[in-house]
Chain A
Amino acid sequence: MIHTGISGIDDMLEGGIPEGSRVLYSMEPGVDGQLFMASTLNAAISEGKRCLVIVPYASTQAFLHDISGMTGADPSAIAAGATFLDSTDRFRILKQAGTPGKALQIWQDEVKNRVESGSVDVIFAYLDLLYDDFGLEGAISILTQPVATGQPTVILEHLNLDGEPGLDKFSDHHKIDLLISISAGFRYIPFFNYFTLVHASWLPLRQRSVPFITADGRIIPYIPKIVVTGPSRSGKSTFISSASDCRESVDRSGVSDSPTTVAMDLGWIHWKSFDITLYGTPGEERFDPIIPQLVKNAMGVVLVIDATRPDQMERAKHLIRLSRADRLPLVVAANRTDLPDSLDEGAIRSGLELRSDVPVYFISSVRKADVRHVIESMVDCITRFTF
């Protein structure tokens, strides 16, 4: 196995990348995604894999300095574990060859010699200049020639200026086993980055997108906002409390002397490599004007309902509309189902007029395992949703 060095992705890939695979990190322009390739290179070097790095846009020294700056890795350790074909080699080959055809042949020979003589396990290639020089077919042919020492794993990084059709070119014709596209959501500027696992040939995975942040040279899958809403006293604050590693709540005593949320609940979870923030809305109608503000930029909505209160269905439906949950991934958590006379799934679905793809879970919000199961489902819905 080759590891990406990104725990969330390695988990999704059930451990990592099978040896001999072809991997493409396809980056949208302007998206800070160079850490994907850098993390994979670091992981390979630290696991003792022998690597060939093809970096035609930079000198080896500049490349090592950049990788070290990005990941904090020791450049001498990378230099010791890899051989390089860099910008100097590209100019040498172009000058020596005279024609593109001859240059392609020299590239093919040099890569093959390096792989066979160094028993290279993994080729890391920054594809764009090879693509410019020889077209896609030519560039790929340099990296995927049959070699006597066994087929190395090939990891590519590419700047995708063509959007979706650019991805199709690779997946249709070049047997890319793992295609990860790295993109950003834009308003004026990128406001969140996300990667999309387009396909993995060895796994029956559906395409999924996951936001990420970078911190301390690492990529951390990140869900900046899941909103937890629901009618008053349905158990939202308890849900957030049970789900979170730590939490803050703004509440005060209500008329019945039990606390009620007056602004929001906040909860933070680090779960299965994801950093997740939960925002809980108040449930009382008098706070409805602040809910549209709370749900801005939310990536998903958990609707908590009291399954013993059919009279609150209309209110719950109103909150779905108010939190724009009809346009976002939505999961329903039916609370207090351990009590008698709770509603069944059919009654909840019809009462809330739910889409068929909305999961409904029967929980007790005081039980951590129940609540975490809802969060797991929410994350799954978010990663499958096209934003």
Chain B
Amino acid sequence: MYRYKSGIELLDKAMGGFDAGTNYLVLAPSMSSAEKLAIALSRPLSGEYSIILSTDERASEVIDYCKLTGSDKQFIGVIDAITKTSSPTVSDTQRLKFVASPTDLTGIGIKFSKMSEAIFEGSFSDDDSGLFPPPIRFCVSSVSTLLMYRNLGVMYQFLHVIIAKLKKMEAVGFFLLNNESYDEKTISLIKQLMTGVIEVKSEGGETYFRIIGILGIPPDWHKFRIEKGLVVMQQ
């Protein structure tokens, strides 16, 4: 089974990375670099693809940020749920797709399917690693914004469907959720859908994460920072 390298040494050394078909909630307060952490985990390594659902940043901004990490943009697709609210006539390209607003779950689902199909058919980028199924990292940045626009029951069902598809595709998923904006019941419900949780906290100007739910990885806090889009562990 394919394993997705995380760029986090302790995880990659112990487990070889994230298992194919697994999904993680990146649970973080605001201003904690969690968006950057989610993108860092979702960047495509050689032979991989990424699909990023962005509800807060424009597709162009997401691609620019991904390029900082050294990722090749031809392996990154963005579903942009924000640009059309201000530029309604923006058109889709092969790797950048636009939906009318973060409320448009129908559109989000269709664009996700179209991108996945293009990756599986080998028409997504000029180069193809030839791996089958093609390794895909999927990132939702963020579930918090989607929850602002759609009710919890609908979002739970929608994420359930997306996660089932990611499992079938043997992809890995990262779902960003702000733990300051939602009550424990909401967070618990979303957690039920996940394989594990990557929890982030800020203390004294430093940021820490811990990984919960992966056998063999103790849930200890680790200090980190994001440098050029990559996770850098600190002592």
Contacts and interface: CB of A to CB of B under 8 A. Distances in A.
Nearest to A63: B100
Given A29-B158, A59-B85, A161-B161, A190 B113 contact: yes
Contact-size category for B: 20 to 34
Contacts, number: 88
Interface of A: 27, 29-32, 34, 56-59, 61-63, 65-66, 69, 87, 126, 128-129, 132, 157, 159, 161-162, 184, 186-190
A69 B105 contact: no
A contact face: mostly helix, strand, loop, or mixed? mixed
A189 to B, nearest CB: 5
B113 A61 contact: no
B contact face: mostly helix, strand, loop, or mixed? helix
B161 A188 contact: no
Interface in B48-93: 84-85, 88-89, 91-92
Interface in B107-125: 107, 109-110, 112-114, 116-117, 120
Contacts of B85: 59, 62
Contacts of B222: none
Contacts of A132: 150-151, 154
Contacts of A126: 106
B168 A188 contact: yes
Contacts of A187: 168
A377 B168 CA distance: 35
A31 B110 contact: yes
Contacts of A30: 109-110, 112-113, 161, 165
Given A30-B110, A31-B110, 13 more contacts: A29-B161, A32-B113, A57-B104, A58-B100, A62-B100, A65-B89, A87-B101, A87-B103, A129-B103, A161-B157, A188-B168, A189-B113, A190-B117
Nearest to A90: B103
B106 A62 contact: no
B210 to A, nearest CB: 32
A235 B197 CA distance: 62
Given A132-B150, A159-B109, A58 B116 contact: no
Contacts of B112: 30
Contacts of A34: 106-107, 110
B169 interface: yes
A263 B209 CA distance: 60
Nearest to A87: B101
B213 interface: no
A334 B120 CA distance: 41
A56 B30 CA distance: 29
29 contacts: A29-B109, A29-B158, A29-B161, A30-B113, A32-B113, A34-B107, A57-B103, A57-B104, A58-B88, A58-B100, A58-B104, A59-B84, A59-B85, A62-B84, A62-B85, A62-B88, A62-B89, A63-B100, A69-B91, A69-B92, A126-B106, A129-B103, A132-B150, A132-B154, A161-B158, A161-B161, A186-B165, A188-B133, A189-B169
Contacts of A129: 103
A69 to B, nearest CB: 7
Contacts of B105: 29, 128, 159
A128 B101 CA distance: 13
